[in-house]
Structures are given as C-alpha cells and as structure tokens.
C-alpha cells in the first residue's frame, strides 16, 4: 500500500523525517518511487573525507572514492541534488594550535638540529592537502551545475597518541598558548600554528559548479588552511559568489610584531576614567609588551572611538567596491564583553534591491566620508529600529557608477 502513495505525498513524508533527523537511507531502498522521493534529500548535503589512509575511527561521511562512484556514470543525475558538500581533508599528522613548544636547548642532543617549520611533518601534511584538493577539483571539474554548490573545507590530522607532538624537536604542552609578559625568551620557544598551503605550483582544474566557499572553525577546531591557499582555491572557481572565512583564532600578543615596529595599532573600544589611568600607568612602567598584554586583561572598555569606526566603515566600503560581483557581506565586531557595543554590517546585492544595513549598540551615525565610500546619500538613511539601533539605506547600483 505504501508503495502506491503519490510522489508528492512521499516528498512531504521525506521532508518531515529529515526535520526529525530520522535516517532516510532505509526509506530509499523500499522501491523506485520511494527512492525518487528520498534520494534528493539524502544527497542534498554530503560529508566526504579525502582518503582511507588517514581515516580515524568515528570519521563521518563517505570517502572521496565512494563519492566519485555515486556521482558518475548512471549516478550523474545525483549531481543536481547536491547543494552542500563538506570536505574533510585528512592529513597524516594532527598539528593543533598552541599545543607544542620547541625543545629546550639544554635538552637537545649534540647532533639534533634546531626546530624549523620547514620540516618533513608539515611537508607531508601540505602534500596530502594538495593531493586531496586536486582529486576533489578533478572530480568536480566535469560537473555542469554552474554555481549551485556550497563547498566547506577543513583539515583533520591523524592523531598519533593521546598527547602527540609529532614535529621534530618539539614537546607537548597543554597551555602553550598562555602568554607571560616580560618572558622574552618564551617567544623564541613557541611553535607557530600550522596552516596548510600548496606545495610548489598550484595545479587545480577550474570548477564551474562551486558558487560558495566556506572555511569555518567548528567545536574549537580551526579549518587550518592558509589564506594564500584560500585565495588560490577561489581563483579556480569562476562562478564563485560568496566566501565564508573564519578568522577567529587565538593570537598571542608577542606574535603581533608589526604592531611593535609601527606603533599604529588603534583601539576602537576605549576605557573610561580610572581604567585608562591604570592602563597609562602600566604602559609607563612596562612598555609596549604590557600595553599589548592588556588585551587579555579584565579592563572594561565602555566607550567608542567614533572616528575609528568611521575609518572601519570607510575601509569596508572601498574594499567592497573592488568586488563588483559581491552578492553578500556580513561583518560583526564586538568589544571583549560581547554583549557591549556590538556593531554588525550587512550588505545584500539581490536582483532589484541593493541594501546596506548596520546595527549598533551605541550611538553612531555615518559621516559624509562613509557615504562616499559606499555611494549613498546620508538623507536616504532609514532608521529601522531606533531602540535596537538598526539603520539601512538602499544603494542605487553595484558597483557604484562613480569608480573609486
């Protein structure tokens, strides 16, 4: 009886089961009509891992080899059902951020070399990354669904032991990320975070089906792909329209060397009264190291440098103008305490409507320089919600008719 249900009703049932997170694969094996109703939902979002060699127990999804088999030959029609693809690039070594230090000099043997990022462990990961990306792009290069696929990329290294420190001349330390001001020798003992990059010449084929790319951090794990490699991947996606790139990661104060040299770092959120006096005193007796370290302290920053916000808004506008195919942009900024003084900016370039919306938890209004950077008139700004600090403005064209 169930096999005689109309396709429309079967599709409704499939959608209900998907919302309830019930397994759909068994339903697709009932009969042909059920397979036609359930398979598009099964293949809508897939998790694929790059190879079997470095697969760990509990790895979700299917292998790239299985994915290739399911979407080629008689399975080619399934390509049109796939809208989201999460690709886990498995590498031979797990290199977590801030979990290792260089070996202390007095513990090294006479014939041991100093630590270097140019070591066989990182090279092996880079080679695996490049091989995995080339294999995936070679598979997707024959797809003709232009710009229909969202591809999410991230690394998963193989863990050797519970507290592995696989790189030569390093040792494991759970709290290597913590910074102690004044310990100048400590900086030289740190192991820079690993970020996968292409080893040698980038030889990826162009892929037309990729419209969106995502490099996101999830559950404390960084995607671990270098921004230069991200740029190279984008260059091989001609129909690329959207990028989700997560920059949120732990950065130690002593890794911001250029701030020391240029002294151009500017705070957007500012402390008030006694807080500023305390910071001035610390800076006077401790120097630039302590000023940077103050970022990790408990100083409250309860006011805003409006001119710096203008500069931020302006730079975003001029940067966006250099992206004529930009369809959407989101930018979120918050002070240390995320419920204070949040600033959110949203740009939407949809057919017939181009809007710029921003939300402020503080009193702020753009000036003429901001309006010029985004090509709008200040008189056209609409207060959508004065209580919540939400404003919007309709843009006439994108990119602006008057170039930068």
Average pLDDT of the chain to the nearest whole number = 77
Q: What is residue 116's predicted lDDT score, i.e. its pLDDT?
A: 85
Q: What is the average per-residue pLDDT within 57-71?
A: 88
For the stretch 164-193, pLDDT in tens is 668 888 888 776 655 555 445 555 677 888
Q: What is residue 277's predicted lDDT score, i.e. its pLDDT?
A: 66
CB–CB of 303/272 below 8 Å? yes
For residues 107 and 314, the model is more confident at 314
Whether cis (ω within 30° of 0) applies to the bond prior to 399 is yes
Q: What is residue 31's predicted lDDT score, i.e. its pLDDT?
A: 76
Q: What is the average per-residue pLDDT within 228-250?
A: 84
- Rounded CA-CA distance 141/208 in Å is 7
For the stretch 285-338, pLDDT in tens is 555 444 444 444 444 545 667 787 788 888 888 888 887 778 888 887 765 444
For residues 283 and 308, the model is more confident at 308
The verdict on pTM exceeding 0.75 is no
CB burial readout 103-137, b (16+ within 10 A) else e: beeeeeeeeeeebeeeeebbeebbbbbbebbeebb
CB–CB of 97/193 below 8 Å? yes
Show Cβ contacts of residue 338 under 8 Å, excluding neighbours closer than 6 positions: none
Beta-bridge partners for 358: 345, 391
């Amino acid at each position: 009886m169930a096999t005689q249900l109309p396709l429309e009703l079967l599709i409704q049932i499939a959608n209900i089961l998907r919302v309830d997170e019930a397994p759909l694969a068994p339903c697709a094996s009932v009969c042909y009509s059920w397979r036609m109703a359930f398979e598009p939902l099964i293949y809508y979002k897939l998790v694929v891992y790059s190879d079997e060699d470095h697969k760990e127990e509990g790895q979700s999804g299917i292998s790239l080899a299985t994915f290739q088999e399911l979407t080629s030959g008689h399975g080619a029609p399934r390509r049109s059902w796939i809208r989201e693809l999460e690709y886990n690039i498995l590498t031979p070594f797990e290199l977590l951020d801030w979990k290792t230090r260089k070996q202390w000099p007095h513990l090294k043997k006479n014939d041991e070399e100093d630590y270097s990022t140019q070591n066989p462990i990182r090279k092996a990961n880079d080679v695996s990354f490049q091989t995995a990306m080339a294999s995936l792009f070679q598979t997707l290069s024959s797809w003709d669904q232009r710009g229909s696929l969202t591809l999410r990329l991230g690394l998963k290294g193989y863990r050797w032991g519970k507290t592995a420190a696989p790189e030569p001349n390093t040792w494991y330390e759970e709290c290597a990320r913590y910074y102690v001001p004044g310990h100048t020798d400590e900086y030289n003992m740190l192991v820079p975070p690993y970020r996968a990059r292409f080893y040698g010449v980038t030889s990826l084929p162009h892929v037309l089906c990729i419209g969106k790319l995502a490099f996101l951090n999830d559950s404390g794990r960084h995607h671990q792909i270098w921004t230069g490699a991200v740029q190279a991947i984008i260059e091989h996606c001609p129909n690329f329209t959207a990028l989700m790139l997560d920059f949120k990661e732990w950065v130690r104060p002593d890794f911001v060397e250029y701030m020391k040299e240029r002294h151009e770092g500017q705070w957007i959120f500012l402390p008030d009264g006694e807080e500023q006096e305390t910071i001035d005193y610390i800076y006077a007796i401790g120097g630039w190291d302590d000023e940077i370290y103050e970022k990790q302290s408990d100083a409250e920053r309860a006011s805003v440098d409006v001119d710096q916000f203008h500069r931020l808004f302006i730079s975003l506008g001029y940067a966006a103008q250099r992206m004529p195919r930009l369809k959407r942009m989101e930018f979120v900024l918050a002070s240390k305490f995320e419920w204070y003084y949040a600033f959110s900016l949203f740009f939407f370039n949809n057919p017939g409507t181009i809007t710029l919306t921003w939300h402020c938890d503080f009193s702020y209004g753009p000036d003429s320089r901001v309006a010029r950077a985004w090509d709008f008139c200040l008189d056209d700004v609409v207060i959508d919600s004065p209580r919540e600090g939400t404003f919007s403005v309709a843009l006439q064209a994108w990119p602006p008719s008057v170039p930068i």
